[in-house]
Amino acid sequence: MKKKITTRTIVVTGMLSAVSIVLGMTPIGIIRLPIANLTTMHIPAILAGILEGPVAGLFVGLIFGLTSLYKAATSPTSVLSPFLLNPLVSLVPRMLIGVVAWAVYTGILVLFRKQREKGERINGLFTSVSSGLSAFFGTMTNTAGVMGMTYLLYAPQYAQRANIELSKVGAAIWGVVSFNGVLEAVAAVIIVVALERVLRPLLARTKKKNEQIAGETAEETAGGSDVQQETDTDVLTDKDTDAVDPETVREEE
């Protein structure tokens, strides 16, 4: 499904990119629980994907990745910080978040298109399910992608920084993916479904209002052109009436 890049897409992408930066550079991007710290910094990329398409999702994910790379370079605080300096770890998985979210969201809506036509309530249910699953898989793309690339590229270094044996790195990373990743995915499902139900109708109303304004402007422009053409025609007619034909003058004489 081809998604046209409109002014709205650019504006929404810019706003979600700004939110991603704020979440990445401040403590509000982390949900602190007694059992784990959960990130919400990937949620703008998911919203960008399901609201505005894969290009928007990819761009906001890139902003998220660049923010995490910058923090890893300027204020390394976690075991993963040195590994996030590699764009394959910090950028590539984050750029795929919105793309995966868009693919899941769009795929479900297209797959159940006939069922969605049965009524507004059914359509809303499928939309919420699509948003929730896109949030889940988008989150797992982030967690599994970052941890997977870390394992493939930096297993010995990870073992040293985590103070574990090299043979246990795989189990440790799988533990992060299956525990933190799933908790983050559940949190993302709740947040994304709630925000999508608010943002999509709001964006739809804004689009409709802008189309009405554009239509009125076009009508006013067309009306002004018609008035100008009538005025020009009247002027030409007056000039033709006032013009003196030399042959007519001779005949009168």
Q: Which CATH number characterizes residue 115's domain? A: 1.10.1760.20
pLDDT at 113: 81
pLDDT at 250: 45
Domain hosting 176: range is 7-212
| Spatial contact of 131 and 192, defined as CB atoms under 8 Å apart | yes
Residue 174 domain-assigned (yes or no): yes
φ and ψ at 38, to 5 degrees? -110, 135
Q: What is the pTM of this model?
A: 0.80
pLDDT at 144: 95
Residue 251 domain-assigned (yes or no): no
pLDDT at 204: 78
Residue 2 domain-assigned (yes or no): no
pLDDT at 1: 47
Residue 231 domain-assigned (yes or no): no
pLDDT at 35: 76
Residue 101 domain-assigned (yes or no): yes
Residue 247 domain-assigned (yes or no): no
Residue 168's nearest CA partner among 177, 181, 155, 179 is 155
Q: Which residues contact 95 (CB under 8 A, 6 or more apart)?
A: 58, 61, 62, 65
Residue 252 domain-assigned (yes or no): no
pLDDT, block means (10 residues), the chain with 253 residues: 74 95 90 82 96 95 96 89 95 96 93 76 83 96 96 95 92 92 94 91 76 67 61 54 46 45
Residue 132 domain-assigned (yes or no): yes
What's the domain count of the chain? 1
> What whole-number distance in Å separates Cα of residue 64 and Cα of residue 139?
13
- Other Cβ atoms less than 10 A from the Cβ of 67: the count is 21
pLDDT at 249: 38
CA distances from 142 to 50, 61, 178, 192, 202 (A): 16, 10, 13, 15, 28
Per-position DSSP letters for 177-239, written without gaps between them: IIIIIHHHHHHHHHHHHHHHHHHHHHHHHHHHHHHHHHHHHHHHHHHHHHHHHHHHHHHHHHH
Residue 145's nearest CA partner among 195, 229, 73, 83 is 83
